[in-house]
Structure 1
Amino acid sequence: MSYVYAVSRLRGMENHFLDASFFARLIDSPTLEDALKSLSETSYSRWLGGADGAFDRAIDEEMIDVCKELSQFVPDQELITIFKMPHDFHNVKVLLKSLFRVRGGDLEGRRHELLSRLGSIPLEELITALESEEYAFLPWNLGDIIKRCWLLWEQAKNPQHVELLLDHHLFASMLKLAESLDVPAVVAWVRNKIDAENLRSLVRLQRMNYTAMDGEPFFHFGGNLRPDDVARLLNEPVETWGNLLSHTDIGSAFEAMGDRSDLRAALSDVSRALDEHLIRVLESSKYATDAPEYILLFLLNKEAEAQALRIALVSVANDLDREFTRRLLSHVR
C-alpha cells in the first residue's frame, strides 16, 4: 500500500499551518476582535462568524474538516481512527455520566453540549446505542466495557472508577489497532502515549499525596514503562524523578521541572514537554516520501495548532498576562 500521494498532498496542506510569527501577532492583539480579524486571514475564516466567543466552534470545524479531507485520500482509514479514538471514549464518558445523573433523578442531567464531533463513531448512533442499551454495533468491544461500567456505578456510584476502566480499555484498544496496522512507528507512538498519560497521572497523584500502593491501579499497561515502576516513583522525592527516568526517552520531559518540587507550578511545563515528545516520536517520517506514520504526525501537528489557538484567543479575550501566554506557546514553530 503506497502512501506517496497521501504524503505529497499533506506536504501541500502543511503550507497552511499557522507559524510562530502568526501566533506572536495574535497574542499581541489588543482585543479579541483584532485577534479574530487576524484569524479571518487564515483557513479558519470559513468557520468564523457570529459572536466573538464562537472561535471555539471555528477551531473544531477546521479540525473536523481536515479529518474529512484526509479520509478522501489516505489509503488506510485506521490511521485516522487511531487519532480519533480518544474523542470516542470521551463521548462515552460524557454520555454515561449524563445517564447516571438522569437515572438518579436529575432530569436536566444530560450534558450533550460536551460531546466531541471529532470521534469516529457518529454522535447520533452513539447516543442512541447508550440510551437504548443496544451496543452490538459499537467497535473495540465497547459494549462489554459499557456494561461493566454500569456494574461499577451500581456498586460504588464513583465516576472515577468508571473513567479509569474506560481509559484502560482505550489504551488497550489503541495498542491493538496500532499493532494490526503493522507500522512500527505507530506502535511506538501509542506506547509512548501510554507512558505520557501515566506520567501525567504520576504528577496528579503526587499532588494528592498518593503512595505507590494506592496509585498503581491508576496507571495503564502497554507502555514502555511498567505501571509498577511508574507507581514506585510516588515514594521517591519529586526532584529525583528526572534522574530515575533518565534511561528512558520520555524521561527528558521531566527536565522541564528542573529542581522544582512545586508540581503545581511545573505541571504545565511537563505536560507540554510530553506532548512535544509524542510528536518527536513520529518526526523521523518528516522527510520520508512513503511513510504511513506521516498521516498521524500531520494530525498531531494540526491538533497542536488548535490547542495553541485556543490558548492564545482565551488569553486575548480575558486580557491575561501576555508574557505567560508566550511562554505557554514557546514551542510553536
Structure 2
Amino acid sequence: MPFPAGSSLSTPNSPLSSKGGNILSHQIKDIDYLSISTRIRAMENRLLTRERMDRMIDARENGEAMKILTECGYPEDRGGGLEGVLAQARADTFRDIAGAVPDPRLAEIFQLKYDYHNAKVILKAQAVGADPERLLLAGGRYDPRELLEGWRREELQGCSEEFQRAMAQAWTLLRESRDPQQADLLLDRSCYQEMERLAKALGSPFLLGYVRLSVDVANLRTAVRAARMGKEGDFLRRVLLPGGNVSQQTVASARADTLGEVFQSGPLAQAAQLGAKVALPGGGSLTAFEKACDDALTAYLAAARMVPFGEQTVIGYLYAKELEFTAVRTIFAGRAAGLDGDTIRARLRQTYV
C-alpha cells in the first residue's frame, strides 16, 4: 500500500506543516534558548527524584502513589488509568516544549519513536486482520488514530517523506516475506535516519551525539542478544543499524567476548564489558547490562545540566521526562507484581536529577 508524496493526512504537529517543517530564516543561537532554559530549570524541580520514587514504592496503596505524581505536575486519572495519565503528561510535555523553542523540530527528535511504534502496530495488525487501536501510543508527531485512518484511506499527507516511504516499503516487505522482524528492522533504520537528519538540520553537535550514542546502544544490545542465540557474523551485518560512533562492520566482526574492547574508549565501556559476559553461555541475566546501557545515555545527557542555556537544556529535559515515564511504569508494574521495595529499586535506572 504505497503512498504518493502528495497524499493527505491532516495533523497539527506535522513536520511538513508551516510551523514544524520550515527552515528558520535566521541562525539560531544559544541566547535564543534563554527563556525556555530558564523555565526548564524551574520545571526540573518537579521531576521525580529518587526520594519521590522511594515514596511511591513505599506507598500503602496505588492511590497514594498516584498522588505523588500529581504533586509533580501529572494530570489526575480521569478513567484511563496509569497509561492514560502518562499519555496525557507526554502529550502536554511535547506540546509545551514545541511551542516554546525556536525550532519545534527539537521536540520531534523524541517524538519519532512513537510514530514508528504506531507504524509497526498498524502494519502487523493489517497483516493479521486485527484492530490495532488499543496498542497505538499518543505522543508522536502524528495523531495515532488519524495516522491509522490515513493509512486505511491511502492518504498520508503531512507525514515526512521518510516516514511515508518507510511505511510503504515495510508493508511490501511484510507481505512478501511474512517476517515482521524484517519490517520492524526497516522501520527502525528509518527512525534513526530521521533522527540523524533532524539533528544535522538543527546544527546541534550535542543532539547528534545523542543520536549516534543511541544507535550504539541499540547495536550493542542486538550484538549481545544475537550472541546469546548463537547468531553472529552475517546475521549481525543484516540487522545492525548505521549511524553510530562504532561502525556496523566493527560490531559484526567482534566476537561475543571482545565486545568490551570494541566500545572500550567510549561511554558504553562498562555496559559493553557486562554485555561481553552475559553474551556467553551461562553468562547470567541481562538486567544489569540493560541498565548499564540506559545509564550511559543518561550520563551523556545529564551533562546538559552544566550548560546555563541552549538547546542542550531542552534536550536533557525531554530525555529526563522519557526516563521518568519509564521509571513510573517500572514502579507500578513492580507494585502490581507484589515485588518488595528493594527489588523494584534495583530495576530503576539512573535518574537525571
Query: TM-score, normalized by length of structure 1?
Result: 0.89
Question: 1:212: how far off?
Answer: 1.4
In 2 relative to 1, CA 300–262 (structure 1 residues): closer, same or farther, beyond 3 Å? farther
In the alignment, which residue of structure 1 is the partner of 2:7?
none
CA distance in 2, matches of 1:62, 1:264: 39
Equivalent position to 1:174, from 186, 195, 201? 195
CA distance in 1, matches of 2:133, 2:190: 22
Q: Does 1:119 align with 2:119?
A: no
Q: Which amino acid aligns with 2:270?
A: S
Equivalent position to 1:47, from 76, 90, 101? 76
Contact 1:91 1:115 in 2 (8 A): yes
Equivalent position to 1:66, from 83, 93, 99? 93
CA distance in 2, matches of 1:145, 1:41: 41
Question: 1:176: how far off?
Answer: 1.2
In the alignment, which residue of structure 2 is the partner of 1:105?
none
Helix, strand or coil for the counterpart of 1:117? coil
In 2 relative to 1, CA 13–262 (structure 1 residues): closer, same or farther, beyond 3 Å? farther
1:279-316 CA-partner distances (Å, limit 9, x unpaired):
33233331323311221110101111111111111111
Q: Which amino acid aligns with 1:6?
A: I
CA distance in 2, matches of 1:244, 1:146: 33
Percent identity between matched residues is 26
In 2 relative to 1, CA 237–187 (structure 1 residues): closer, same or farther, beyond 3 Å? closer
In 2 relative to 1, CA 272–262 (structure 1 residues): closer, same or farther, beyond 3 Å? farther
CA distance in 2, matches of 1:147, 1:22: 44
Query: TM-score, normalized by length of structure 2?
Result: 0.84
In 2 relative to 1, CA 263–42 (structure 1 residues): closer, same or farther, beyond 3 Å? farther
Equivalent position to 2:43, from 13, 20, 23? 13
CA distance in 2, matches of 1:15, 1:282: 17
In 2 relative to 1, CA 266–248 (structure 1 residues): closer, same or farther, beyond 3 Å? farther
- Residue correspondence of structure 1 range 26-41 to structure 2 within 5 A: 26-41=56-71
Larger RCO (alpha carbons 8 Å, 6+ apart): 1
Question: What root-mean-square deviation, in Å, do the aligned CA atoms of Structure 1 and Structure 2 show?
Answer: 2.2
Q: Does 1:143 align with 2:161?
A: no
In 2 relative to 1, CA 268–21 (structure 1 residues): closer, same or farther, beyond 3 Å? same
CA distance in 2, matches of 1:257, 1:220: 18
Bigger helix share: 1
Aligned length: 321
Helix, strand or coil for the counterpart of 2:306? coil
Question: 1:57: how far off?
Answer: 1.6
In the alignment, which residue of structure 1 is the partner of 2:13?
none
In the alignment, which residue of structure 2 is the partner of 1:270?
289
